[in-house]
Amino acid sequence: MALFSPDTDIFCERDALREDYQPEEIVGRDQELQQYVSALQPVINGDQPANIFLYGKAGVGKTACTRYLLHELKDDAAEFNVDLTTIRTNCEDLSTSYQVAIQLINDLRDPEDHLQPTGYPRRQVNQWLWEELDGIGGTIIIVFDEVDHIEDDSILYQIPRARANGNLEHSKVGIIGISNDFKFRETLSSKVQSSLCEKELQFPAYNANELRDILRQRADIAFYDSVVPHEVIAKCAAFGAKDAGDARQSLDLLMEAGDVAVERDADQVTVKHVDEARELLERSRIVDGVAGLTQQGHLVLYALVMLHEEGETPTRARAIQDRYEIVCDRAAVEPLVPRRMRDHLGELSMLGIATREERNKGESGGRYYEYSLDTNPDLLLEALDETVDMVGVTDAIQKRLDHDI
Ligand SMILES: Nc1ncnc2c1ncn2[C@@H]1O[C@H](COP(=O)(O)OP(=O)(O)O)[C@@H](O)[C@H]1O
Ligand SMILES: [Mg+2]
């Protein structure tokens, strides 16, 4: 018997649930697409394209809609004899305008003429970029996806001005900047803001109905007929809507639920499989999150778990500091000063392990934060097992550990 054999009862195209799969149709974004289309209208008129800034939380379809529309735009441009080139750059691994320029040049050049990542004077790199862009001619749209990863904004300033500054003669270039982080807009210098954000588009989070439509569309491609009943779609959608209105999260959950069904040798995906899948995803999120923390991060987290088990949360950083110092003492580790300890609390809330809420002091004014745990403590204690061994347990922690067995 073969050790590996295709399991064909559940998935017919599992890859359709992956993030990099591009759906042929976009569902439930009619209004946003309409705004996007009108922002791109100058392209079809053969005019200078507007620069567009698109923002919205993770998983709300920014990348998918942009890819979809640019594809349509290219088709229509060909029909109306508009000379259009589109370039998409993901800035996730790029942190400076210099790196972005090199990447753009290499995208446009033949492999044998590619530049090295470093070692050229900045002016020279810019010069090469203008030569490449001007050599194309016509209209060029450059998409900077995850643009907030670029720390200096000079390229976002220079490209829109290139024509006015005499650097481009034959090409009209427009930029589409995409960001998960609306605050990024405020970090831009005002001259970049006014040029990059000529047209601003915002994509809101998805509600459960919209997520259901997206999931259904994708499930029909990924799974065999009648493998995914309505209630499974509804459950994955409800989960995504409750958390962040994030389509990616819901699609991941559906894929994992499918994997569970395959593993169980089932002939349908069930609601129970979705529950199991959620637990698996939650577990790996926590295990990965905790594994990525430093030892100090582990000690801060353990102090917070202790307070949670004692019913002392939400609580202020000061109370956590007191407990954390005891924990450090037990671990024979030098404690951090409160400021640094608070940085770790901030990191925990960024990871979604803890939550941080701002409170007002009332009459006397002033604000402070309260922290609580936002994660299943059993999973955390499992992920923290080395710290628990090193520090030892309190009564409340022992009680939970006993309960678990
Ligand atoms: N309106 C939609 N219709 C179909 N699929 C969608 C839609 N919105 C998002 N998706 C899918 O959800 C996933 C996440 O969307 P993506 O565009 O990558 O989000 P963002 O770029 O906003 O983080 C992708 O697999 C994408 O194809
Ligand atoms: Mg994206």
Same domain, 330 and 239: no
Residue 250 pLDDT: 96
Ligand 1: does its nearest atom lie under 6 Å from the Cβ of 15? Answer: no
Length of the chain: 405
Residue ranges making up the domain that contains 361: 292-404
Residues 198 and 221 placed together within one structural domain of the fold = no
CA-closest residue to ligand 1 atom 20: 59
- What per-residue confidence (pLDDT) applies to 350? 87
Which residues are in the CB-under-5-Å shell of ion ligand 2?
Answer: 63
Using alpha carbons, list the distances in angstroms from residue 221 to 14, 15, 52, 144, 247: 8, 9, 32, 29, 16
Q: Is 61 one of the annotated binding-site residues?
A: yes
Q: Does residue 19 belong to any structural domain of this protein?
A: no
Inside any domain, residue 15: no
Ligand 1 atom 8 nearest Cα:
61
What's the Rg (C-alpha) of the chain?
26
Give me the residues paired with residue 141 across strands. Answer: 86, 174
Residues 6 or more apart whose CB falls under 8 angstroms from that of 9 comprise 224, 227, 262, 267
Angle at 213 between CA 209 and CA 214, to 5 degrees: 115
Taking CA atoms only, the protein residue closest to ligand 1 atom 4 is: 26
Q: Which ligand is nearest to the CA of 33?
A: 1
Q: Residue 229: beta bridge partners?
A: none
CATH number at residue 311: 1.10.10.10
Residues 144 and 163 in one domain: yes
Is the CB–ligand 1 distance for residue 60 below 6 Å? yes
For the chain, the domain total comes to 3
- DSSP class of residue 11? B
- Distance from CA of residue 26 to its chain's centroid? 19
How far away, in angstroms, is 59 Cα from ligand 2 center?
7
Kindly give the distance from the C-alpha atom of residue 56 to the centroid of ligand 2, in angstroms, as a whole number: 10
Last residue of a domain, one of 244, 272, 289: 289
Please indicate if the annotation marks 64 as binding a ligand: yes
Q: For residue 51, what pLDDT is reported?
A: 96
Q: Whose CA is nearest to atom 26 of ligand 1?
A: 64
In a domain, 18, yes or no: no
Residues 185, 53: Cα–Cα separation, whole Å: 9
What does the longest C-alpha to C-alpha distance in the chain come to?
76
CATH classification at residue 261 = 1.10.8.60
What per-residue confidence (pLDDT) applies to 144?
97
Which are the contacts of 252, defined by CB distance < 8 A and separation ≥ 6? 17, 281
Boundary of a domain, candidates 230, 257, 289: 289
Residue 218 annotated as part of some ligand binding site: yes
Q: Is 183 annotated as a binding residue?
A: no
Report CA(379)–ligand 2 centroid distance (Å): 30
Ligand lying nearest the CA atom of residue 55 = 1
The answer to whether residues 50 and 173 belong to one domain is yes
| Within-domain flag for 6 | no
Instruction: Return per-residue pLDDT of the chain as tens, 405 residues.
Output: 677 766 668 999 999 999 889 999 999 899 999 999 999 999 999 999 999 999 999 999 999 999 999 999 999 999 999 999 999 999 999 999 999 999 999 999 999 999 999 999 999 999 999 999 999 999 999 999 999 999 988 999 999 999 999 999 999 999 999 999 888 888 888 888 888 888 999 999 999 999 999 999 999 999 999 999 999 999 999 999 987 889 999 999 999 999 999 999 999 999 999 999 999 998 888 899 999 999 999 999 999 999 999 999 999 999 999 999 999 999 999 999 999 999 999 999 988 899 999 888 777 778 889 999 988 899 999 999 999 999 999 999 999 998 865
CA proximity to 375, closest of 403, 398, 354, 404: 354
Q: Is 60 annotated as a binding residue?
A: yes
Decide if 61 contacts 247 (C-beta within 8 A): yes
Sign of the four-CA dihedral 170, 39, 37, 158: positive
pLDDT at 85: 97
Separation in Å, CA 66 to CA 60, 130, 280: 12, 25, 32
- Tell whether 54 and 169 lie within a shared domain: yes
CB of 62 closer than 6 angstroms to any ligand 1 atom: yes
Report if residue 4 sits inside a domain.
Answer: no
270, amino acid identity: T
**Of 60, 176, 201, which is best to mutate to test ligand 1, by the most ligand atoms within 8 angstroms of its C-beta?**
60
Same domain, 276 and 239: yes
Using alpha carbons, select from 379, 380, 360, 378 the residue that is nearest to residue 370.
360
Task: Give the DSSP per-residue string, 124-175.
Answer: HHHHHHHHHHHHH-EEEEEEEETGGG-S--HHHHHHHHTTTTTS-SSEEEEE
Ligand 1 nearest-atom number relative to CA 67: 17
Same domain, 56 and 128: yes
Q: Tell whether 61 and 144 lie within a shared domain.
A: yes
Test site for ligand 1: of 92, 143, 248, most ligand atoms within 8 A of the Cβ: 248
Asked whether residue 86 is assigned to any structural domain, the reply reads: yes
Whether 10 is covered by a domain: the verdict is no
| 3-state DSSP percent of the chain in helix, strand and coil, to 5 | 55, 10, 30
Is 362 assigned to a binding site?
no
Please state whether the peptide bond connecting residue 6 to the residue before it is cis, i.e. omega within 30 degrees of 0.
no
The contacts of residue 189 (CB under 8 Å, 6+ apart) are 153, 157
Per-residue confidence (pLDDT) for residue 186, from 0 to 100: 85
Q: Look at residue 52 in the predicted model and tell me its pLDDT.
A: 96
Cα-Cα end-to-end distance for the chain:
39
Of the three residues 257, 289, 321, the one that is the final residue of a domain is: 289
What backbone torsions phi and psi does residue 89 show, to the nearest 5 degrees?
-125, 125
DSSP secondary structure letter of residue 355: E
In this structure, the answer to whether residues 65 and 189 fall within a common structural domain is yes
Do both 185 and 223 map to the same domain?
no
Instruction: Output the domain CATH number for residue 184.
Output: 3.40.50.300
Do 242 and 321 belong together in one domain?
no
| 5 domain residue, yes or no | no
CB atoms near residue 314 (< 10 Å): 17
Burial bucket for residue 118 (CB in 10 Å: 0-12, 13-18, 19+): exposed
**Residues 6 or more apart whose Cβ sits within 8 Å of residue 71:** none
Kindly state whether residues 240 and 216 are assigned to the same domain. Answer: yes
